Amino acid sequence: MDSLLTQTEFDFRKDVRNFVKQELMPHVEEWERRKKFARESVKKFADYGLFGILVPPEYGGLGGSVTEYLLASIEIARASTSLASIFGSSAGICSAAILNFGTDEQKKHYVPPIVSGDLFPCFAVTEPAAGSDAAKLATTATRDGDDWILNGTKSFITGGDAADVLLIFATVDKSLGAKGITAFLVDRDTPGFSVSKVEDLIGMHASSACELFFRDCRIPGSAVLGEIGKGLRVAFSSLDLGRIHVAGQGIGLSEAALEASLAYTADREQFGQPIGDFQGIQWMLADMSVGIDAASLLALSAARKAESGKPYSTESVKAKLYAAETAADVSRKAVQLHGGYGCTRDMPVERYYRDAKMIEIYEGTNEILRTVIARNLRS
Ligand SMILES: Cc1cc2nc3c(=O)[nH]c(=O)nc-3n(C[C@H](O)[C@H](O)[C@H](O)COP(=O)(O)OP(=O)(O)OC[C@H]3O[C@@H](n4cnc5c(N)ncnc54)[C@H](O)[C@@H]3O)c2cc1C
């Protein structure tokens, strides 16, 4: 992938790798073991300017490219998928939704503090009975004078326990189906909002996935993001960008798993020689490397298409699907190559294996992404 980058992109990647090495790596194992959202990382990302990577300078950002956003996701995920997830919420999906659909006032109010790390956002679509079928969400927003009253439950919301502002999707009229869904920005301290559960997840232990509860939660009319009834447009266009980031998570995790495997198989001896000298082991390493290159090219192609200003939904779906399956495959092979030691907490590969499973689920499961690709092929 590096040979296809401009010098600026290449230098940016190197800089982010140094930042990750110095500022994140020393804390990763402790933060993962603690099993809590690593709030400390928010300030580190913000201080380095990474939350503003896609944000225009007028809102305090760097005005960078989608490719740089992808590269940052890869580099952070080489250290920790959880931390990459924290980066993605602020730098991508939430700030992009506000920039693309917000009023001037909303942009000025929310985006600079997201970039500076003073506000952490979350993106809340999923509900207990509406996962893949997001259009069936049941959280209601009922008009009361100029205000809206929210009632409902959201599930698996990344960073929901740490978020200062919630981008939530609710229906203003269930009889309208998808056309009733509307996006709202809700401040955390709004009465009627609470975090009802923090999930005990298989992986990504330095992040969090939470159940959020809204009971007669009154928000002002100015909290609507975009047009009433056009919430799914806000959600889906944000997910197009978000999936390039998630592809980056899969690629970064896979690169780390391959590096660990190369080092281990060069060192570990059985039958009087390093196990890396066995052809069966080499073929596994080769397949891991091919998968990573293929995933990287798909992700880069999606990022370039996004930068061209043309629709890039199919490219970003393909990139996310392929990178997620690559991460699952590469991390499974990495554990296998480490033998029994790969199953212990002493080795990072067990974490990659647990985290990779989740990449296959959020921002569209493998099955749903295949359905989207097939639908686009047939249309
Ligand atoms: C760690 C984590 C973080 C998350 N963060 C967020 C977040 O920040 N914000 C948010 O809104 N959501 C978030 N989610 C939720 C995530 O997007 C959903 O879990 C996902 O969309 C799947 O929904 P579900 O879990 O209800 O599964 P379901 O939709 O019930 O699916 C169950 C199974 O059925 C399959 N399936 C469903 N429909 C079809 C179909 N038509 N054809 C074939 N197979 C099908 C699925 O692929 C899956 O294998 C997160 C989830 C996790 C695990």
Give the domain CATH number at 329: 1.20.140.10
**Which residue(s) pair with 157 in the sheet?**
210
Say whether both 293 and 371 belong to one domain: yes
Q: 165-171 and 147-158: which strand pairing?
A: unpaired
Q: Does 135 sit in the ligand 1 pocket, CB within 6 Å?
A: no
Which atom belonging to ligand 1 lies closest to the Cα atom of 125? 11
Q: Does 131 sit in the ligand 1 pocket, CB within 6 Å?
A: yes
pLDDT at 135: 94
Say whether both 237 and 200 belong to one domain: no
Say whether both 109 and 184 belong to one domain: no
H/E stretch holding 224 reads strand 224-225
User: Residue 12, class by beta-carbon neighbours within 10 Å (0-12 exposed, 13-18 middle, 19+ buried)?
Assistant: buried
Q: 224-225 and 209-219: which strand pairing?
A: unpaired
Say whether both 140 and 216 belong to one domain: yes
Say whether both 319 and 335 belong to one domain: yes
Which residue, judged by its Cα, is nearest atom 37 of ligand 1? 132
H/E stretch holding 154 reads strand 147-158
pLDDT at 355: 98
CB-based contact 229:181 (threshold 8 Å): yes
Q: Which two tokens stand for residue 109?
A: 């109010």
Q: Domain range spanning residue 94?
A: 2-120
Say whether both 143 and 252 belong to one domain: no
Backbone phi, then psi, for 65, in 5-degree steps? Answer: -105, 165
CB atoms within 10 A of CB 329: 16
Say whether both 202 and 237 belong to one domain: no
Ranges under pLDDT 50 in the chain: none
Number of domains in the chain: 3
Could you give the 3-state DSSP secondary structure of residue 117? coil
Say whether both 275 and 370 belong to one domain: yes
Last residue of a domain, one of 168, 195, 229: 229
pLDDT at 1: 83
CB-based contact 338:347 (threshold 8 Å): yes
**Residue from 89, 69, 78 nearest 355 by CA:** 78
Question: Which residues lie below 8 Å from residue 143, measured CB to CB, with a gap of 6+?
Answer: 172
Last residue of a domain, one of 170, 202, 229: 229
Question: Which residues lie below 8 Å from residue 318, measured CB to CB, with a gap of 6+?
Answer: 298, 302, 369, 373
Which ranges in the chain belong to alpha helices (H)? 7-19, 25-34, 39-47, 66-79, 81-88, 95-101, 104-115, 231-267, 279-308, 313-337, 349-359, 366-378
Which atom belonging to ligand 1 lies closest to the Cα atom of 122? 8
Q: How far is the CA of 242 from the centre of ligand 1 (A)?
A: 15
Say whether both 352 and 287 belong to one domain: yes
DSSP state letters, 335-360: HHHTGGGGGSTTSTHHHHHHHHHHHT
pLDDT at 214: 98
Backbone phi, then psi, for 159, in 5-degree steps? Answer: 70, 20
Say whether both 183 and 268 belong to one domain: no
Q: How far is the CA of 64 from the centre of ligand 1 (A)?
A: 30
Q: How far is the CA of 321 from the centre of ligand 1 (A)?
A: 13
Which ranges in 103-182 belong to alpha helices (H)? 104-115
CB-based contact 362:288 (threshold 8 Å): no
Say whether both 239 and 225 belong to one domain: no
Distance CA 330, CA 349 (A): 10
Q: What is the CATH number of the domain that holds 175?
A: 2.40.110.10
Last residue of a domain, one of 120, 151, 174: 120
Instruction: List b or e across 139-152, with b for residues whose CB sees 16 or more CB atoms inside 10 angstroms.
Output: bbbeeeeeebbbbb
Say whether both 203 and 239 belong to one domain: no
